[in-house]
Amino acid sequence: MTTNSDLPARPSFADILEAQLVLRRYLTPTPLHNYPVLDEATGAEVWVKHENYLPIGAFKLRGGINFMARLSAAQRRQGVVTASTGNHGQSVAYAARLFGVRAVISVPENANPVKLKAMIANGADVRLNGEDFEAAKRSGERIAEEEGLRFVSSGDEPALIAGVATHTLEVLQERPDIEAIIVPVGGGSGASGASIAAKTVNPAIRTVAVCAEASPAAYLAWQDRAWREAPNRTAAEGLATGAPYMLPQSILWEHLDSFVTVSEAEMFAAVRMYLETAKTLAEPAGASPLAALLQMGEELAGKRVALILSGGNISPTQLRKVLDAG
């Protein structure tokens, strides 16, 4: 367990603005679209931020590039290692290739094969370690010590948080009238970064996080304002964490307005709704903000709401399950 005194400094809004300048050299802003059918289904005016359109199909790429761009020449020669269920690993692999850095990715043995192939294609040394993310993380930390690599935390890393926060900056630059923003939480980098950006631009914007009720550690830590472990049983690998990251949590404790948990069935229904109404592919974690909005109902009715569609890396097997469940 990490105590608050052990944590690195929180990223500032200035760090997010600097990250946007970095990312403009490598990425174009992702689309922000309104879908009247989603408006009708939710009772809100819905604006979807399509992070599934990024080169790796997920928002994490923003953090990986910002992190890698800030490494010194010596640190790049040293190389990095991280643990991931998929999208963070893809981000580190893609950014490492971009900057010529050796990257080792420790992943669970049951990792999403679509994400595994992408990590390998980007030149990463991918190693299967353990039955879940927590086991893969412990292996990654051991590899860092044994091989002299820098361990990259998927949550407690300010440059990652500042990088991914640029999705919310882009939303508000395009639609400064947004009244609420809903962001998925696995490690919490996306939601914490979104909260810093939104509350700095306009403190009245309601910030909402969502996680899987089958993996509620992040929700429990936010609710209790303390480190909490919990069973990690969700099929949504982007939300599959059994213990919280305390740097994002410390930010969420200060800035987050609401935290919602959604069921597997609700996420699967949201994946189908995106397919049918927006003609776009979302993985369950990416669809969780839509599931949260549908659950919240009257609470956000009539509001202008941005949903961070964080990723579209769903495997064919998982997509068949989603469709069969419908």
The average confidence (pLDDT) of the chain is 96
**Per-residue pLDDT tens for 77-87?**
999 999 998 89
Q: Strands across the sheet with 45-50, in order? A: 32-34, 45-50, 304-309, 180-184, 206-212, 258-262
**Per-residue pLDDT tens for 207-216?**
999 999 999 9
300 lies in a domain? Answer: yes
pTM for the model stands at 0.95
3 lies in a domain? Answer: no
CATH code at position 104: 3.40.50.1100
pLDDT of residue 306: 98
pLDDT of residue 146: 97
Q: Which range of residues forms the domain containing residue 200? A: 10-60+159-325
1 lies in a domain? Answer: no
Q: Are residues 31 and 164 in the same domain?
A: yes
**Per-residue pLDDT tens for 252-269?**
999 999 999 999 999 999
Continuous H helices in the chain: 13-23, 36-42, 60-69, 73-78, 87-99, 113-121, 133-147, 158-164, 166-174, 189-201, 217-224, 246-255, 264-273, 284-296, 316-325
Q: Are residues 141 and 226 in the same domain?
A: no
pLDDT classification of 326: cutoffs 50, 70, 90: confident
What is the phi/psi pair of residue 16, to 5°? Answer: -65, -45
- Give the C-alpha separation, 183 to 285, whole Å: 10
pLDDT of residue 1: 55
Inform me whether the pLDDT recorded for 280 exceeds 60. Answer: yes
Q: Are residues 170 and 296 in the same domain?
A: yes
Inform me whether the pLDDT recorded for 17 exceeds 70. Answer: yes
Span 60-83, average pLDDT? 97
Span 237-244, average pLDDT? 93
**Per-residue pLDDT tens for 126-165?**
999 989 988 999 999 999 999 999 999 999 999 999 999 9
Helix (H), strand (E) at residue 184: strand 180-184
Inform me whether the pLDDT recorded for 111 exceeds 70. Answer: yes
- Give the C-alpha separation, 89 to 250, whole Å: 24
Span 107-115, average pLDDT? 90
Q: Are residues 172 and 261 in the same domain?
A: yes
Domains in the chain, number: 2
Inform me whether the pLDDT recorded for 5 exceeds 80. Answer: no
**Per-residue pLDDT tens for 281-321?**
999 999 999 999 999 999 999 999 999 999 999 999 999 99
Q: Are residues 23 and 114 in the same domain?
A: no
Residue where the block lists tokens 């040394």: 125
CA-based torsion, 183, 188, 190, 192: positive or negative: positive
pLDDT of residue 2: 52
Task: Let me know: does 244 contact 195? Beta carbons within 8 Å.
Answer: no
Give the percent of the chain with pLDDT over 70. Answer: 98
pLDDT classification of 204: cutoffs 50, 70, 90: very high
Q: Which of 154, 172, 207 is the last residue of a domain?
A: 154
Q: Which of 325, 305, 38 is nearest to 179 (CA)?
A: 305
